[in-house]
Amino acid sequence: MNKLIIFDTTLRDGEQAAGASLNIQEKLEIARTLEALGVDVIEAGFPMTSPGDFEAVKKVASEIKGCTVCGLARATPKDIDRAYDALKAAASPRIHVFISASEVHMVHQLKKSRAEVLQTARDMVARAKGYISDIEFSPMDASRSDPLFLYALLEAVIDAGATTLNIPDTVGYAMPGEFGGLIEGIFKNVPNIDKAVISVHCHDDLGLSVANSLEAVKRGARQVECTVNGIGERAGNAALEEIVMAIRTRPDYYDVTTSINTELIYPASRLVSQRTGFAVQANKSIVGANAFRHQSGIHQDGVIKMPKTYEIMDPHSVGVPASSLVLGKLSGRHAFKERLAELGYNLSEADFDRAFAAFKELADKKKEIADRDIESLVAEEQRTVVEAYHLDRVQVTCGDRGVPTAAVRLIDPDGKVLEDAALGTGPVDAVYKAINRLVGVPNRLTEFSITSITAGIDAIGEVLIRIESEGVSYSGRGADTDVIVSSAKAYMNALNRLLAVKMNGQEKAARSRPESGERT
């Protein structure tokens, strides 16, 4: 089998990253991007964990037809039944059943014997098989499990109907040679292994998730579980873009292919970053801001003469423009649309009109507009399309001799103008207090960070915040050349997310209440 199956778990394990939060529409947007990217399997979520995750998996399963849609389930009847209920509308559904296999997990977490774990795994895989034919099984913490027990467990679940066996390095403990040896041992010691595909799911606690995954591919694994930008639990997962581009760049070494349209990697990376609120570090391979930038004079000289001297990949191959088109206030709609296309954006006419108006406004403030400015601008416009409250105006007074004061004007859902002012310890604090008085939703600010999108005194400042309400975290982003305005936009973005969740919950509650006179 020369095809490597790319199993993307951005919507499941990726969303488990501390601080990540995606609503149903954002999950569907990312799923459509993954489908266009060419992934083979989308793990859409863990249906049993919450009603919201169940609905998200159900929505993705009903909408996505170009690849397999998978739901995760513990080895329990309720989890498996719930997963099937979420997936049954999918064109190609898969149930992913897992149970711990290492001694430390079985003794301290499950409190089950080896015999009990083996029997449970066999029974629950058989139960899932009764619903659909495509069943994946994961022995959690496989890299710290007794190999002999692991072989017996895998043989049993294949007999019960598992078609994919996923070998997880759950805590990122394994070394590449060691993990490769584990995969090799499974091929040699599980007698019915020819009836299943070997998959791997590696975590990055020691920075080895990609190395371990690629070593497993070298030893015969034909599915890799990964996430866009490597996001996920703790230090994250193997990064999809790194796995795919390593295989594409070194076909002489790996001798496998994928179905990924690599030119869509960079746009997918930006989308996931924007929706999760996790910035991509500048020196991140493949999709980082510096991945195809050269500062050293020697490197610059070599690249000018022949790009291959210092670039092992063509930036176009991952969707990164090779050169910058400098835009300014004299640029027209055509030039702006061309640049958007190069950056991977295909906006509707209405979205384009809003983005172009914002671009012109920015161009009056900045002499030159860089690619990152445009990306931030488009993201900002997309964030403000659906709002409960619209930020109409912000005015602040501050300095080392006065009391910081902010006046804020909002437009409420009915179009009514709301205005208030507040004092604070600083201008941002004053703005947030004024907004809180107008919106009236209790919350606590848990994180605030500001980043300069580009260099220069006229750079756009992008603010990322997180607020917490009733134990749930909501992220917000805002961008503007004025950092106080950026801060206000980010706060409104987070509050609107919070309000959307509350409104959805109220609507569901209203629908569930009986009509007047109805018997309960």
**How far apart are alpha carbons 165 and 151 in whole angstroms?**
11
Distance CA(502)–CA(352), nearest Å, equals: 30
Q: Are 228 and 281 in contact (CB under 8 A)?
A: no
pLDDT given for residue 200 in this prediction: 98
- Give CA–CA dist 269/262, Å, rounded: 11
Residues β-bridged to residue 408? 394, 420
Rounded Cα distance, 441 and 94, in Å:
40
User: 262-288 pLDDT, tens per residue?
Assistant: 999 999 999 999 899 898 988 899 998
pLDDT value at 358 more than 80: yes
The average pLDDT across 160-170 equals 98
pLDDT (tens digit per residue) in 366-392: 666 777 777 777 776 665 546 789 999
**C-alpha 412: how far from chain center:** 31
- How much is the pTM? 0.75
Question: Over 50: is that where the pLDDT of 295 sits?
Answer: no
pLDDT at 231: 96
Q: What is the tens place of the pLDDT at every residue in 423-446?
A: 999 999 999 999 999 999 999 999
Q: Where is pLDDT greater, at 327 or 57?
A: 57
Residues of the chain above pLDDT 70, percent: 89
pLDDT digits (tens, 9 = 90+) for 46-85: 999 999 999 999 999 999 999 999 999 999 999 999 999 9
Strand ranges of the sheet holding 405-411, from the earlier edge strand across to the other edge: 390-397, 405-411, 417-423
Q: Where are the beta strands (DSSP E) in 177-260?
A: 197-202, 223-226
Q: What is the mean pLDDT of residues 317-336?
A: 67
Residues 112, 103: Cα–Cα separation, whole Å: 10
Listed in sequence order, the DSSP H helices in 223-296 are 240-249, 251-254, 265-276
Q: How many residues does the chain have?
A: 520
Main-chain phi, psi angles of 136, to 5 degrees:
-110, 140
What residue ranges define each of the domains in the chain, with the CATH number in brackets? 5-276 (3.20.20.70), 297-383 (1.10.238), 390-507 (3.30.160.270)
Question: Residue 340: pLDDT above 50?
Answer: yes
State the number of CA atoms in the 13 A half-sphere of 234 facing the CB. 12
378 alpha-carbon distance from chain centroid:
18
pLDDT, position 19: 82
- Distance, in Å, from the CA atom of 89 to the CA atom of 240, rounded to the nearest integer, reads 27
Q: Which amino acid is at 139?
A: P
Summarised one tens digit per residue, pLDDT across range 450-475 is 988 777 777 888 898 999 988 888 88
Average pLDDT, the chain: 88
Q: According to the model, what pLDDT value does residue 34 have?
A: 98
Write out pLDDT tens, residues 188-211: 999 999 999 999 999 999 999 999
pLDDT the model gives residue 456: 73
Kind and range of the H or E run holding 477 = strand 472-480
Element (H, E) at 395: strand 390-397
Q: What is the pLDDT of residue 518?
A: 42
pLDDT of residue 292: 72
Residue 517: band (very low, low, confident or very high) from pLDDT cuts 50, 70, 90: very low
